[in-house]
């Protein structure tokens, strides 16, 4: 059998009894028949395992691995190590796939001996049975096979590519590529955004990648147990970026090229993480962002050309006064105008001196009319 | 369905000697995710062959064939076919800087943006380009949020060219503005006058991203320049079309002062200044008076400054009494 397995589908599961049947059946119903299904269960207690065993008795393509650790990364590594297929696929057990998914992905991949083929997905709201397509590429992007490290001539476009949703389960990966490149999931406890470092390592080392415009996986949005919905995991994303940093430290030839990209991605991830935290946790996380970015800036890892100006400015506010950033962001979310004070606790004579010097430079550079208008504008906004 | 980042629309008509350079500059763009829509407007030279060659070599070039029906029809066909998130226009005898699309896309990421205006190079440099080009391309970096008449009338780079501007597809879809296929001149001016008031966010950047061939022996524009009377008649027709559109949108009431100011600049000065026979001048003045009567432009007289009032009085003596 191992000779003819085209795709190994790894399915990590933990307490997903309400969703598992839909998921497994969507894989069993794939038009591509030569697949193996590797279920890696981390000790479910709600009957998930029993349902899986029931399916395994009925279909020899299913095998079950019992993971002794509750770690998404560890489960995935177990599954990837056991896989015999030419390509590796992933399906999370609260999602489900379109029947032609693996056939279409496999055909595209094997025809051109690609390292990775990635497609789009649907946001799936099960309560109202709504599917919202989320394509990841235009047909222009999908029309070529490229190497993410070298084939982008515009840095902005490269960042956007690395920034495509890290839906690792809407793609298939050549097994030999994953093994030769030594790509492993980060084995942190639970499900804590281990896809971040995995995606980065894949894009950094893949030589032949193709994107597809179609959508195949239905990505469930209303599972309350999902890691995306848990505000508790404050610093998981930081662990992921530390893992990426360790990866780059091992690979100096990639480090020089990709460190600025990593810092740019980190900004978006951290801001996303910041916004989903509860209010009590925000100041501490802002502090952490400030420390990390101050270090990154000093090391010269941040490249201004990769940031829109407002992100670059925000970065400086965070670095200089994290507390002010917290207040500013809260006001912004509430839709209230807010004047950022970059000099908290400044004495009046000091401030006067700063304003006079600033005013003098404004006069010199922009002339009387602009300075006057600017002054009046600030008075009107009470921003002096 | 996610569209490419930028659609570049190129109307093509008998430009065999310029087309290759133009398409090369598109394919050399640092931004890969673009589509190049080439509308062949029934060329009678070998342009179609060149286009065919390029389309076979790169799938990002999408050729469209039309019977000869004018540059406006070609651009409209391009607009209908465009699926990009941004739309740029490129003339087939001009070419782009390699970073043009990347720069436009970067600017679009900087905040909500509907229209981006960028700078351009002029070539050839001999004969020496007309001085007013320098005025049009004097762009300083700024953004405007929310339309106000001064964006359209007081920013020299806002008019009359469309090729140094990029439009967001969202705006084009919302505004539903098309090129007028029946006027032979000033269709780009009409387009701009109709679309600017519907946009909200404007970005002006001084980067020179476009190479504009301002002079081409025997080109349509050079020929038009020779016959003052015919050209000015067309100007009046263009102004008439714009005024009609502005009235139907209710902008004429809202921005009457600045608008009448522009009409005076656009029509009156040329009629007074240019070299015309008396009969031609009378004919044009009649047309202009008809336009002003029909849309009650005299109501905007009070908003004019002294210079424009003088022009107005000279052109429409009766209007002085308003």
Query: What pLDDT sits at residue A231?
Result: 65
Q: Do the domain assignments include residue A264? A: yes
* Interface check B109 vs A, CB under 8 A: yes
| pLDDT surpassing 70 at residue B322 | no
Query: What pLDDT sits at residue A1?
Result: 47
| pLDDT surpassing 80 at residue B318 | no
| pLDDT surpassing 50 at residue A51 | yes
Read off the pLDDT band of B222 (50, 70, 90).
Answer: low
Sign of CA dihedral A179, A181, A182, A187: negative
| Chain A residues with CB-CB distance to B57 below 8 A | none
What is the overall mean pLDDT for chain A?
93
Question: Helices A155-162 and B100-109: crossing angle, nearest 10°?
Answer: 50
| Chain A residues with CB-CB distance to B169 below 8 A | none
Q: Do the domain assignments include residue A342? A: no
Q: Which of A227, A258, A279 is the last residue of a domain?
A: A227
Q: Do the domain assignments include residue A192? A: yes
Spell A26-36 as b/e; 16+ CB within 10 A means b: bbbebebebbb
Q: Do the domain assignments include residue A253? A: yes
| Chain A residues with CB-CB distance to B99 below 8 A | 154
Query: What pLDDT sits at residue A229?
Result: 65
Enclosing domain of residue A365: 349-384
Testing the interface with B: which of A154, A158, A304, A311 to mutate, by most B Cβ within 10 A? A154
Q: Express each pLDDT in A105-143 by its tens digit.
A: 999 999 999 999 999 999 999 888 899 999 999 999 999
Query: What pLDDT sits at residue A153?
Result: 93
Testing the interface with B: which of A119, A145, A157 to mutate, by most B Cβ within 10 A? A157
Q: Do the domain assignments include residue A77? A: yes
CA angle B115, B135, B138 (to 5 degrees): 55
- Which has the closest alpha carbon to B204: B130, B137, B262, B255? B137
> Residues, chain A, total?
384
| Number of Cβ pairs < 8 A linking chain A and chain B | 57
Q: Do the domain assignments include residue A162? A: yes
Read off the pLDDT band of B220 (50, 70, 90).
Answer: low
| Shortest distance, CA B58 to any CA of chain A (angstroms) | 10
* Interface check B60 vs A, CB under 8 A: yes
Q: Are the Cβ atoms of B33 and A138 closer than 8 angstroms?
A: yes
Q: Do the domain assignments include residue A121? A: yes
Between residues 32 and 51 of chain B, which touch chain A (CB distance below 8 Å)?
32-35
**In this complex, which of B33, B59, B83 lies closest to A157 when CB atoms are compared?**
B33
Query: What pLDDT sits at residue B224?
Result: 66
Q: Which of A208, A227, A246 is the last residue of a domain?
A: A227
Do A220 and A261 share a domain, yes or no? no
Do A357 and A222 share a domain, yes or no? no
Q: Express each pLDDT in A286-332 by its tens digit.
A: 999 999 999 999 999 999 999 999 999 999 999 999 999 999 999 99
**In this complex, which of B30, B34, B110 lies closest to A309 when CB atoms are compared?**
B110
Q: Express each pLDDT in B75-130 by its tens digit.
A: 999 999 999 999 999 999 999 999 999 999 999 999 999 999 999 999 898 888 88
Strands A171-174 and A62-66: unpaired
Between residues 61 and 100 of chain B, which touch chain A (CB distance below 8 Å)?
83, 99
Domain count, chain A: 3
**In this complex, which of B4, B99, B109 lies closest to A140 when CB atoms are compared?**
B4
Do A104 and A166 share a domain, yes or no? yes
Looking at the structure, give the CATH architecture of the domain made up of residues B6-220: Alpha-Beta Complex (3.90)
Which residues of chain A are at the B interface, by a Cβ-Cβ cutoff of 8 Å?
Answer: 120, 135-141, 143-144, 151-154, 156-157, 213, 308-310
Query: What pLDDT sits at residue B221?
Result: 67
Domain spans, chain B: 6-220, 227-321
* Interface check B107 vs A, CB under 8 A: no
Q: Are the Cβ atoms of A137 and B2 closer than 8 angstroms?
A: yes
* Interface check B110 vs A, CB under 8 A: yes
> d(Cα A93, Cα A62) in Å, to the nearest integer?
14
| pLDDT surpassing 70 at residue B236 | yes
Q: Is B305 helix (H, G, I), strand (E, B) or coil?
A: coil
> d(Cα B217, Cα A168) in Å, to the nearest integer?
58
The mean pLDDT of B211-237, rounded to a whole number, is 82
The share of chain A scoring above pLDDT 70, in percent, equals 98
Do A135 and A270 share a domain, yes or no? no
Q: Express each pLDDT in B141-157 by its tens digit.
A: 999 999 999 999 999 99
Query: What pLDDT sits at residue B33?
Result: 95
Q: Express each pLDDT in A320-377 by its tens digit.
A: 999 999 999 999 999 988 888 888 888 999 999 999 999 999 999 999 999 999 999 9
Q: Quote the ipTM score.
A: 0.85
Query: What pLDDT sits at residue B277?
Result: 86
Contact residues for A207 (Cβ-Cβ < 8 A; gap 6+)? A115, A147
* Integer angstrom CA distances of residue A37 from A10, A100, B274, B294: 6, 16, 82, 77
Query: What pLDDT sits at residue B320?
Result: 41
Do A315 and A359 share a domain, yes or no? no
Helix boundaries (H) for chain A: 17-28, 48-58, 72-82, 101-112, 155-162, 175-181, 195-205, 236-250, 252-276, 282-298, 309-320, 322-334, 348-381
Q: Do the domain assignments include residue A272? A: yes
Do A292 and A356 share a domain, yes or no? no
> d(Cα A311, Cα A291) in Å, to the nearest integer?
17
């Amino acid at each position: 059998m191992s000779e003819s397995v085209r795709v190994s589908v790894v399915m990590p599961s933990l307490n997903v009894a309400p969703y598992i049947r839909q998921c497994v059946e969507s894989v069993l119903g794939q038009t591509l028949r030569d697949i193996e299904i590797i279920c890696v269960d981390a000790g479910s207690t709600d009957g998930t395992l029993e349902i899986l065993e029931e399916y395994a008795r009925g279909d020899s393509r299913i095998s079950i691995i019992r993971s002794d650790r509750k770690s998404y990364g560890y489960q995935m590594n177990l599954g990837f190590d056991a896989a015999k297929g030419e390509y590796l696929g992933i399906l999370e057990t609260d999602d489900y796939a379109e029947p032609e998914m693996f056939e279409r992905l496999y055909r595209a991949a094997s025809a051109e001996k690609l390292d990775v083929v990635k497609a789009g997905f649907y946001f799936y709201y099960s309560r109202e049975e709504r599917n919202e397509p989320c394509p990841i590429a235009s047909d222009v992007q999908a029309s070529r096979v490229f190497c993410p490290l070298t084939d982008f001539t515009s840095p902005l476009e490269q960042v956007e590519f690395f920034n495509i949703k890290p839906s690792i389960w809407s793609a298939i990966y050549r097994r030999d590529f994953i093994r030769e490149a030594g790509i492993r999931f980060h084995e942190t406890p639970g499900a804590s955004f281990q896809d971040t470092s995995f995606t980065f390592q894949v894009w950094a080392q893949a030589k032949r990648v193709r994107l597809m415009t179609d959508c195949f996986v239905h990505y469930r949005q209303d599972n309350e147990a999902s890691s995306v919905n848990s505000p508790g995991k404050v610093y998981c994303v930081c662990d992921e970026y530390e893992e990426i940093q360790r990866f780059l430290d091992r690979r100096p030839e990639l480090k020089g090229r990709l460190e600025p990209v990593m810092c740019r991605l980190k900004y978006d991830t951290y801001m996303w993480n910041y916004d989903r935290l509860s209010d009590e946790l925000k100041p501490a996380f802002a502090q952490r962002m400030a420390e990390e970015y101050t270090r990154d800036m000093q090391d010269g890892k941040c490249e201004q050309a990769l940031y829109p100006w407002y992100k670059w400015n925000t970065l400086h506010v965070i670095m200089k006064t994290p507390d002010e950033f917290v207040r500013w962001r809260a006001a912004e979310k509430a839709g209230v105008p807010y004047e950022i004070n970059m000099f908290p606790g400044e004495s009046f004579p000091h401030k006067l001196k700063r304003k006079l010097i600033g005013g003098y430079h404004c006069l010199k550079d922009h002339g009387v009319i602009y300075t006057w208008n600017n002054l009046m504008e600030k008075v009107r906004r009470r921003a002096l | 369905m996610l569209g490419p980042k930028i659609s570049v629309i190129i109307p093509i008509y008998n430009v065999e000697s310029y087309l290759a350079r133009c398409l090369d500059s598109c394919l050399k763009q640092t931004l890969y995710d673009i589509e190049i829509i080439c509308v062949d407007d029934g060329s009678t030279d070998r342009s179609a062959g060149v286009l065919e060659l390029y389309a076979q070599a790169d799938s990002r070039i999408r050729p469209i064939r039309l019977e000869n029906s004018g540059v406006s029809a070609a651009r409209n066909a391009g607009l209908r076919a465009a699926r990009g998130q941004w739309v740029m226009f490129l003339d087939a005898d001009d070419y782009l800087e390699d970073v043009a699309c990347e720069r436009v896309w970067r600017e679009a990421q900087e905040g909500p943006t509907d229209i981006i205006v960028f700078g351009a190079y002029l070539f050839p440099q001999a004969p020496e380009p007309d001085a007013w080009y320098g005025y049009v391309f004097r762009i300083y970096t700024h953004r405007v949020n929310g339309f106000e008449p001064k964006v359209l009338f007081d920013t020299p780079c806002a008019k009359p060219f469309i090729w140094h501007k990029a439009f967001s597809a969202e705006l084009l879809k919302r505004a539903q503005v098309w090129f007028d296929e029946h006027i032979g001149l000033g269709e780009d001016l009409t387009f701009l006058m109709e679309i600017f008031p519907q946009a909200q966010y404007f970005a002006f950047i001084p980067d020179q991203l476009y190479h504009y061939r301002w002079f081409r022996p025997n080109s349509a524009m050079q020929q038009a320049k020779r016959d003052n009377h015919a050209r000015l008649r067309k100007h009046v027709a263009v102004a008439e079309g714009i005024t009609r559109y502005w009235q139907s949108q209710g902008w004429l009431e809202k921005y009457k002062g600045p608008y009448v100011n522009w009409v005076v600049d656009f029509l009156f000065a040329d009629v007074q200044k240019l070299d015309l026979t008396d009969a031609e001048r009378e004919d044009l003045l009649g047309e202009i008076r008809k336009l002003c009567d029909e849309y009650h432009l005299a109501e905007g007289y009070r908003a004019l400054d002294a210079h424009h009032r003088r022009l107005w009085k000279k052109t429409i003596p009766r209007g002085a009494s308003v």
